[in-house]
Amino acid sequence: MKRLTGIGLLLLFCAVWTTNAQRTTSLKINEVLVINDDNFMDDYGKKYPWIEIYNSSPGTVNVAGCFLTNDINKPKMYMVPKGDVLTKISPNQHVLFWADDKATRGTFHLNFTLDSLKPNFIALFDSDGRTLIDSITVPAGQQADISYGLIEDGWDQKRLEEELRLNSGYIEKKGDKLWIYFEKVTPSSNNKILETNEKIDNFKENDRTGVGMTLTAMGVVFVGLLLLFLIFKSIGRIAVGLTHRRVMKTAGVTKEQAKGISEQSGDVYAAIAMAIYEATELHDEENTILTIKNAARHYSPWSSKIYTLREAPKR
């Protein structure tokens, strides 16, 4: 029994470790800004170079325990501290690290910085300090406030080649480079910025005057009102039918009898009512006897002072 328990715990540990390893491999260095003159500020209001990490997996990944470095010979240069809930990266989301060489300022402040005059090697290692998750070398001569990042969030060369094969117009729109420069930097946001909307552009091209939109909107409203009319009319008929059935059941009248009654005109019912009235000679009778009784009092209440004086006279 103990042996089976031990084997079960070992398998569980291996499964958890494998899942964690698979998840950390989905982390990507997504965007880097080397010169930050007039751009995003950190939580201290300062402007420093930053490195963006992206989670390309469908599950939450905790980057805590992983290592960031700018030296391939020192893979354990900066370990992301454990215990900070902000190190958990949600699916398809980002986290930003500041390369300010001020690690004492918090979890997301690195103990190294970036140099714009030379190529900057940046690598992300797993918690063992040996497994390389992702790396990138940012070319030297970076311009201020222009970032260097993946053409699409989390893409690799294989994904780019697949897109180029399936989409013949992609090169014309985006080019064939995996890493590109962004004049509009996107810290903690998607690298792909939609400056235009294809559906809106097509609509503007095919319906410049807006007549089509107007007719479509009016048609939708008309059809909606027509459907409501039919629905409420059907509900009314059903309600009336149920009421008639309850009345016939209470009166003990069959459907054929009720149909015969309903076919009579209003004049017939008026004549029947008049005949009943004349036969019974029903009318109101009022009692015209007036009875006057003497009040058993020693004084007349009509001249009583209690009805004429608000306060008793002072003696």
Inter-residue contact 39 to 142 (CB < 8 Å): no
Give dist(CA 299, CA 136) in Å, integer.
Answer: 119
> Is 44 inside a domain boundary?
yes
Which pair of structure tokens corresponds to residue 113? 């910085």
> Is 302 inside a domain boundary?
no
> Is 227 inside a domain boundary?
yes
> Is 154 inside a domain boundary?
yes
- Both 108 and 41 in a single domain? yes
Using pLDDT thresholds of 50, 70 and 90, give the confidence band for residue 95.
Answer: very high
Least confidently predicted of 35-39, 185-189, 221-225? 185-189
> Is 271 inside a domain boundary?
yes
- Both 112 and 83 in a single domain? yes
Give dist(CA 186, CA 152) in Å, integer.
Answer: 12
- Both 34 and 181 in a single domain? yes
Q: pLDDT per residue over 236-268, tens digit each?
A: 999 988 887 887 788 777 777 666 665 666 677
> Is 119 inside a domain boundary?
yes
- Both 27 and 165 in a single domain? yes
Q: pLDDT per residue over 121-140, tens digit each?
A: 999 999 999 999 999 999 99
Phi first, then psi, for residue 104 (nearest 5°) are -75, -10
Q: pLDDT per residue over 195-236, tens digit each?
A: 666 677 777 777 778 788 888 889 999 999 999 999 999 999
> Is 244 inside a domain boundary?
yes
> Is 63 inside a domain boundary?
yes
- Both 102 and 162 in a single domain? yes
Inter-residue contact 89 to 95 (CB < 8 Å): yes
- Both 121 and 81 in a single domain? yes
Q: Quick one: three-class SS letters along the chain? A: CHHHHHHHHHHHHHHHHHHHHHHHCCEEEEEEECCCCCCCCCCCCCCCCEEEEEECCCCCEECCCCEEECCCCCCCCEECCCCCHHHEECCCCEEEEECECCHHHCCCECCCECCCCCCEEEEEECCCCCCEEEEEEECCCCCCCCEEEECCCCCCHHHHHHHHHHCCCHHHHHCCCCEEEECCCCCCCCCCCCCCCHHHHHHHHHCCCCHHHHHHHHHHHHHHHHHHHHHHHHHHHHHHHHHHHHHHHHHCCCHHHHHHHHCCCHHHHHHHHHHHHHHHCCCCCCCCCCCCCCCCCCCCHHHCHHHCCCCCCCC
Cα–Cα distance list, 174 to 139, 152, 179 (Å): 20, 10, 11
Per the model's pLDDT, the better-predicted residue between 282 and 77 turns out to be 77
- Both 90 and 166 in a single domain? yes
- Both 159 and 75 in a single domain? yes
User: What is the average per-residue pLDDT within 31-46?
Assistant: 93
Q: How many domains does the chain have?
A: 2
- Both 20 and 117 in a single domain? yes
Q: What is the largest CA-CA distance in the chain?
A: 126
Q: What CATH number does the domain containing 125 carry?
A: 2.60.40.1260
Q: pLDDT per residue over 157-177, tens digit each?
A: 888 888 878 876 666 666 678
- Both 134 and 16 in a single domain? yes
- Both 142 and 228 in a single domain? no
Give the domain range for residue 17.
2-195
- Both 13 and 156 in a single domain? yes
Bin 52: left if φ > 0, else alpha if -120 < ψ < 50, else beta: beta
